[in-house]
Structure 1
């Protein structure tokens, strides 16, 4: 029997730092055993620590006799036995018992564990070994040579040596095909990573042609068509070319060859992920009553996976929408009144288990939709809405670092990309109007199923995030000290506070106003003129007809901040008190909804083409009348109408959400309530168009069907 041990003492030879040395002395030192090494080539002496000598990777002992080594061409016992099926394992156990009986006379190999009747007469210790081999061969109906081979394998490797050998020579793609053909096929497949998807037949033909051109005719054996298809099927697993989408194939081809690395947050607020995606569900335009595509922008804390900001926008996303998402991290949105208690956070955003809210004890509790987390670093992609000069400057002033992700590398923002998939699979595909992730997954007519308005769809997403996403365990939220424990984002937030001992909270909520766009204007006796609109407020009184200290392009003007999606008000920061004040537009009292800057500009053009002396009041009135009649005929007008359908603005976040929980579809999705089986949903009465006695039926049908027909025509 060989031994894995090696004796080390005086006279033992080693290879140390590439030289052959011999131990000539061993003695006790102050820090342990020391050895003296003698170089055989230089006749020099080296003193070294015995412990360091054994653990150093530059030292190797030269054994005096053969034995097992780590680089032996033999699979470990665990690998060999793990491949066996149940029947094969039982066969190995039975064969090992026969071998032990041949060697010792006992199937267990020990006299203390002898079975009744053991040892049998033909296997007693005084019987020659050759006769025992012959007796076992007759008993099992095998040859004597087979029994001898079993004994040798058992003595060398134990039960693992008796296991049936599995031939691995045929493993791998194209094992029975010339490796040069397989390598050329891989070369052709990789070349199509950035091209359109090829067919397998074309790849085979191109590979065969390249083989002939490179090695000449007949040098490399070309596989048959069926074999070539099998080889490509195996190569497809490593180099996707034929099965997945071309975009997915490019993503796989761009994967790094080395180990995957990632940022590892250690506390809440250390990293915030921001991204925008187009939702796979159609929403209803409240102005034109037609479907529209929506984009979702979110901010997510990487450590806790808590969604701190949500913004749903029609058609496209602006930089102000990205600023609104970041603003919500400073001022969490108020929770809806019909949310369950466990989904509502305290107004300050700190969990109740960490901070006792006195107001909640008194019964005057005001809930928030999520935690208040000020990010230290924002991880974004290279979209223009995230890298605008204004947003980057404000982040610099507030001490927020911006870290762009690598181009076309979605794994740099893996958690937020996974969130988009989760919301599609767990929420959006249940809603009416779901159109699938791609054109191949789309239904026959999903546009006709669009049911929810944009603000209702955003309310549904917010409630799902608060009730479901924040409260269910995630596989990726674990404590390394307790690997089997899965936590929810809310629990991970509490865990992060307990671990870090603090949380980055907003120093001053008014800092969020700095995300708004600013223009310099002189303060006149009537207020300020911004884009042809007049704003006024009591806070402007000390600065009327007073030049500002600003120089250059802004000479004499005062900074006025405004939100492009709601020009009914502007914001002014008093340079003396440093307090923010709201300035109202002179025509705002006649408005019942926010008015965007794009909508006002379009209204002016519309009024100019209709009236000789138009003004803002006339332009807005005419625009609203046009929308109410369903005559929105240009793409710009349609987009502005969609913007006006939003009920929440960047600053006025305290407005209550629409109570959409009573809608049957929402109740079904959120599993909050089911409508009674015998109760039909209420449908609003649609007034019939005014008709006369002389109207024909086809004229009435044309009137109804064409009522909104021209509302979506492009300019």
Structure 2
């Protein structure tokens, strides 16, 4: 569609923001115009827009009226032009504002400067004239009769208000804002203003600090000035609505702005998670109080969970003291990779329920009913009987979805994911709906919380007066709480049909998580899982230490073992380029030992602290740090001598593990005590795994003893003769993946 063209000539009328202007001279690049004030100025042809001839003979509009004026309804345009004519006649004596366009008889008394009448008197006279004209206008009077307007007259004070607005804003100042409220689109604003505004709003993607809307407006106007853009009329109300609309769209906080920027690259459909290796994880606060023997009072704990997203199978669950760290969630990933089970038997004194136990990991898995290896079966029990062995499937995730918590985006957890080739998928900020399945699991946990002792409710508004009072309500320990929750997940959650599990083409079919797991397994095929019993050590932090004749020193504790004999004087660059240090695995939950992987045999060797046989209390990272602080208080850095540090720690250990002391120290020791208990179970499990491998191997599945746990003295059951394997080094489990 081609634009209209008009030939510019002398005497032509051009409608501007200050009324009708007359072309007085034609130039090569534009025209010279004279407005109602008698001022002559140059206007480029690019600032003029051709239009059809109006009733007033106007064929061209000035750019100061574009695009806002032409976007107004016709009746609103006419009303604004009428008000401008009244103002021009009062001020100049001519309705069009210039003498060349004078109507017959103009100027009439008392309008214009020639009669010497004050502008107030002139507006009073104009008010009487306009009011009379409106009383004989049938359209106006019909609106009065219909109640749309109260009276046809217009006061002189109202006209003086028009004059004031016109002098400030031009034609835009006399537009009736009430008639265009909620009717104008944002395209009525100047295109340059909208372009600059969008450039500024686009910068806020969560990386820049959030600012106010007024500051945004200031920056926009400043850039317009720097670019030499002059917008004579900018509708204030519409501009404020435009800025407020965009400000709400991008968000008022940096988190909202980041989420909205990420939304541009996000999909519009649910993620097609149809493989059991696609997992999600999160940590929630347990809604029960447990008894803390260190602080001698009830405390809250956190529950960490990892779930196979498509099947809803909970592959790992751990109890953490407040608050969980990167090592904790790393061990949650470790649990997810291990095949576990729970045994429920009918004993003479009632049912006995085992804890989750590592049952070993096969080289290949096949749950479709035609096993390629003997000794395997589906994860779901073939019957509904509660007695027997209940499996907790293990899986090596290909992806893990989590929130932006520091424990997930921290260096330790990310390094573990990189090591195993796992993709971290982060949810958007303040969007728990991006990880809905694990959030729904938290809601399911309410069934367990309300069945357990010392339920405190979801919030303070649900809390009863007995909560936390030991005399009125019983409490359990952290270890029992963990065991009870494992039983709930195995016997209740995993055996219940889930509404969110649907089989294509089978509406209404009730499916449990384990049954869905088996179905997906038959579709997706083989899942490879590391089988080495030393797997846990890959989830522990690595420290670099240089062995000496007395062993290695870490946090003023000396560790030594005969396996270090060949590494006390290694050459620089043997393990890393810059020095002669060698890597050790370190568990912050248990400082009585560190672990060394022998480079020749790939076997893990435990390196014990020299003084651990002298104490019975837990020795954890936070305790060692606190002991060192106490020793510093006693004598400064000189007091930390290698010869006396061991005896000083032994002397301090009893005092620091008593309930006395500051609340902060007691809380730290309480959390450390829980972690220490978990560390003992984890490392005892590894020791039993090694022992089981050396004793028995059934088919392709390595089976661990069914009754190995702390506080459990049952003997190991072995069904085949022992096989000596010490002469052969362990294979690298990564070759089996």
Contact 1:306 1:470 in 2 (8 A): yes
Gaps in structure 1 of 5+ consecutive residues: 1-179, 182-212, 216-248, 361-365, 661-715
Deviation at 1:462, TM superposition (A): 1.2
Deviation string 1:299-320 (CA, Å, 9 cap, x unpaired) is 1111221111112111200100
Structure 1 distance, partners of 2:630, 2:269, is 55
Deviation at 1:566, TM superposition (A): 1.1
Identify the match of residue 569 of structure 2 among 545, 556, 567: 545
Task: Pick closer, same or farther for the CA change 1:292–1:507 going to 2, 3 Å.
Answer: same
Contact 2:456 2:467 in 1 (8 A): yes
Deviation string 1:338-358 (CA, Å, 9 cap, x unpaired) is 665999895438688855865
Alignment of 1:582 with 2:606, yes or no, is: yes
Alignment of 1:439 with 2:463, yes or no, is: no
Q: Please give the residue correspondences for 1:631-642 in structure 2 after superposition, counting only pairs within 5 Å.
A: 631-642=660-671
SS at match of 1:396: helix
Deviation at 1:430, TM superposition (A): 2.6
Contact 2:355 2:483 in 1 (8 A): no
Deviation at 1:568, TM superposition (A): 1.4
Structure 2 distance, partners of 1:596, 1:343, is 25
Q: Please give the residue correspondences for 1:144-163 in structure 2 after superposition, counting only pairs within 5 Å.
A: none
SS at match of 2:510: strand
Gaps in structure 2 of 5+ consecutive residues: 1-180, 183-235, 239-255, 346-351, 378-387, 689-707, 713-737
Structure 1 distance, partners of 2:601, 2:355, is 41
SS at match of 1:485: coil
SS at match of 1:378: strand
* Alignment correspondent of 1:423: 445
Task: Pick closer, same or farther for the CA change 1:399–1:268 going to 2, 3 Å.
Answer: same
Contact 1:602 1:637 in 2 (8 A): no
Task: Pick closer, same or farther for the CA change 1:641–1:343 going to 2, 3 Å.
Answer: closer
* Alignment correspondent of 1:305: 312
What count of residue pairs does the alignment treat as equivalent? 416
Identify the match of residue 335 of structure 2 among 324, 328, 333: 328
Structure 2 distance, partners of 1:332, 1:548, is 41
Deviation at 1:451, TM superposition (A): 0.4
Alignment of 1:555 with 2:555, yes or no, is: no
Structure 2 distance, partners of 1:315, 1:306, is 25
Structure 2 distance, partners of 1:571, 1:585, is 11
* Alignment correspondent of 1:316: 323
Structure 2 distance, partners of 1:404, 1:458, is 28
Query: With structure 2 as the length reference, what TM-score do the two structures score?
Result: 0.50
Deviation at 1:619, TM superposition (A): 2.2
Deviation string 1:160-218 (CA, Å, 9 cap, x unpaired) is xxxxxxxxxxxxxxxxxxxx99xxxxxxxxxxxxxxxxxxxxxxxxxxxxxxx989xxx
Contact 2:455 2:467 in 1 (8 A): yes
Contact 1:573 1:579 in 2 (8 A): yes
Task: Pick closer, same or farther for the CA change 1:542–1:297 going to 2, 3 Å.
Answer: same
Alignment of 1:623 with 2:653, yes or no, is: yes
Identify the match of residue 672 of structure 2 among 628, 631, 643: 643
* Alignment correspondent of 2:597: 573
Deviation string 1:534-555 (CA, Å, 9 cap, x unpaired) is 2222322221222352587851
Identify the match of residue 548 of structure 2 among 510, 514, 524: 524
Deviation at 1:640, TM superposition (A): 2.0
Task: Pick closer, same or farther for the CA change 1:400–1:214 going to 2, 3 Å.
Answer: closer
Deviation string 1:342-377 (CA, Å, 9 cap, x unpaired) is 9989543868885586599xxxxx968621211011
Structure 2 distance, partners of 1:446, 1:545, is 59
Report the RMSD for the aligned CA atoms in angstroms.
4.2
Task: Pick closer, same or farther for the CA change 1:296–1:553 going to 2, 3 Å.
Answer: farther
* Alignment correspondent of 1:15: none
Query: With structure 1 as the length reference, what TM-score do the two structures score?
Result: 0.52
Task: Pick closer, same or farther for the CA change 1:340–1:634 going to 2, 3 Å.
Answer: closer
Structure 2 distance, partners of 1:562, 1:358, is 36
Deviation at 1:606, TM superposition (A): 3.1
Contact 1:344 1:368 in 2 (8 A): no
Structure 2 distance, partners of 1:282, 1:450, is 10
Identify the match of residue 397 of structure 2 among 375, 391, 415: 375
Q: Please give the residue correspondences for 1:60-139 in structure 2 after superposition, counting only pairs within 5 Å.
A: none
Task: Pick closer, same or farther for the CA change 1:265–1:600 going to 2, 3 Å.
Answer: same
Larger radius of gyration: 2
Deviation at 1:495, TM superposition (A): 1.2
Structure 2 distance, partners of 1:351, 1:255, is 40
Deviation string 1:9-29 (CA, Å, 9 cap, x unpaired) is xxxxxxxxxxxxxxxxxxxxx
* Alignment correspondent of 1:603: 627
Structure 2 distance, partners of 1:509, 1:376, is 21
Identify the match of residue 495 of structure 1 among 504, 516, 519: 519
SS at match of 1:479: coil
Contact 2:366 2:376 in 1 (8 A): no
Identify the match of residue 261 of structure 1 among 260, 269, 273: 269
